[in-house]
Structure 1
């Protein structure tokens, strides 16, 4: 129960890494705020948490829409009086090689993966400053560290959220607020489910552990970073990839 009583907002919590993180935080005692754009996914995550005797609230939040974010934050503060952790996890991919990438593909990824992180963090930072405490966690990617074929937009967005974390760690650390990033490698999420088996096999071949990661393994890292056990970790960029960058 490392997160007992902590109020934690998770974006993109309806599926994949976000859902696994929401479930993990709940088992650690957190009051979980489940945010996503798909009502059915929100309801499912909230129901699973409550069925396991956890505490959760669900909100339809488009991270591009500051009004929907503000409504969620206002409701959370009205209910609990505080916000202890924000996990910026919402993200999309719109892959294409540079020569074929459209402005729409580029802008969609930047608006959600990068501007959405800014929007959500901006909405909670005043609450954390008043408390003189809080944790901001960004889902980045190994792609943001090393690049990837066909992912100009995605790599740019993930490299940028790493830069944001390092900046916030400097700006907010003395105010009691920690900021860190987690860089997953190849993780078994719905994004990968549409890929051919041969592509997945090639991915596994690149990983020294010989397998894809599980969303629960990323969730466990977030839970540690959100807890008081990580009280001296600030501005860190933690790769959770099975060693694929070695």
Structure 2
């Protein structure tokens, strides 16, 4: 289904994981994809696998406001418009607030929070013109707390509530703003987990496994489609049922 033909989509963190899966999904639907990442080797490899006439690999450091502004301006100059902005770039830091450093906080907030703020600020004027939409990658860690991930939870909680607030502010302008909230996904960020950690996740996820990046990308594609025309301000768990639990242990 070419539901995204003639649509222009910008995806940050597109070099691997969820971002790469999203780039492939939107491209398969006919979109022109601007795949942006900090690691150019990754994003160039991705772009080489997609149609060359409607795929652009660009370098961007999402923690740099001017770089994000320039990326979006160049996209509109090159493609004529912007229809979908996907703020997906993110990093993880393990540890309690006592175990992590202020440098850790500055890094995670600069990418996970500032990166979304900058992407939103500079894309919104163009999305208002196109009556487009924005999709942010939050996390179930932004809907509830995790052990040993204080800074990550704080950053993803900010993304979730920023999404809701922006949806209120810009809905009347014709822009829908939503977020996906994955649990464990098989990406470069999580591939270092050992078997014991993976098994603990499997015990807590009702479907008994981690998500594939493509399963998150499919929700992004739905949210960007006309089928989701009345969905705005939603933070949708893509978690195999993890947040369906009240946290009590399985006893039977």
The TM-score normalised by the length of structure 1 is 0.96
Contact residue 64 and residue 115 of structure 1 kept, 8 A = yes
How many residue pairs align between the two structures? 243
For residue 61 of structure 1, what is the aligned residue in structure 2? 60
In the alignment, the residues of structure 2 paired with residue 130 and residue 184 of structure 1 have an alpha-carbon distance, to the nearest angstrom, of: 30
Question: Unmatched 5+ residue regions in structure 1?
Answer: none
What pairs up with 1:36-47 in 2 under 5 angstroms? 36-47=37-48
Equivalent residues of 2:167, 2:233 under 8 A apart:
yes
1:191 counterpart residue number: 189
2:107 equivalent to 1:108: yes
Structure 1 pair 202–37 and aligned structure 2 pair: CA distance change class (3 A): same
**8 Å CA contact 2:69, 2:118 repeated in 1:** no
Query: Does residue 78 of structure 2 align to residue 79 of structure 1?
Result: yes
**CA deviation after TM superposition for structure 1 residue 54, in Å:** 7.0
C-alpha separation between the residues in 1 aligned to 2:7 and 2:39? 25
SS at match of 1:77: helix
Partner of 2:16: 15
Tell me the distance in 2 between the aligned counterparts of 1:72 and 1:99. Answer: 37
Bigger Cα displacement from structure 2, 63-72 vs 134-143: 63-72
> Which region of structure 1 is more displaced relative to structure 2, 61-70 or 135-144?
61-70
> Offset at 1:72?
1.4
* Cα deviation, residue 130, structure 1: 3.1
Q: Give 1:129 shift.
A: 2.4
Once the two structures are TM-superposed, the CA of residue 73 in structure 1 deviates from its matched residue by: 1.3
Partner deviation per Cα, 1:171-215 (whole Å, 9 max, x = no partner): 100000000011001111111111111111111111111111110
Residue 229 of structure 2 is matched in structure 1 by 231
Query: Which deviates the most, 121-130 or 221-230?
Result: 121-130
Aligned to 2:250: none
Give the deviation of 1:122 after TM superposition: 0.7
Matched ranges for 1:58-207 at <5 A: 58-131=57-130, 133-207=131-205
Stretches (4+) displaced over 3 A: none
Query: Secondary structure of 1:195's match?
Result: coil
- Supply the distance in 2 between the matched residues of 1:130 and 1:24 (Cα, whole angstroms): 24
3-state DSSP of counterpart to 2:136: strand
Distance 1:18 1:12 in 2: 5
Is 1:27–1:54's contact at 8 Å kept on the other side of the alignment?
no
Once residues 143 and 70 of structure 2 are traced to their aligned partners in structure 1, the CA distance between those partners, rounded to angstroms, is 34
Aligned to 1:222: 220
Instruction: Indicate conservation of the 8 Å contact 2:17/2:187, yes or no.
Output: yes
Structure 2 gaps, min length 5: 246-252
Cα distance in 1 for partners of 2:201, 2:112 equals 23
1:209 aligns with 2:207: yes
Contact 1:26 1:54 in 2 (8 A): no
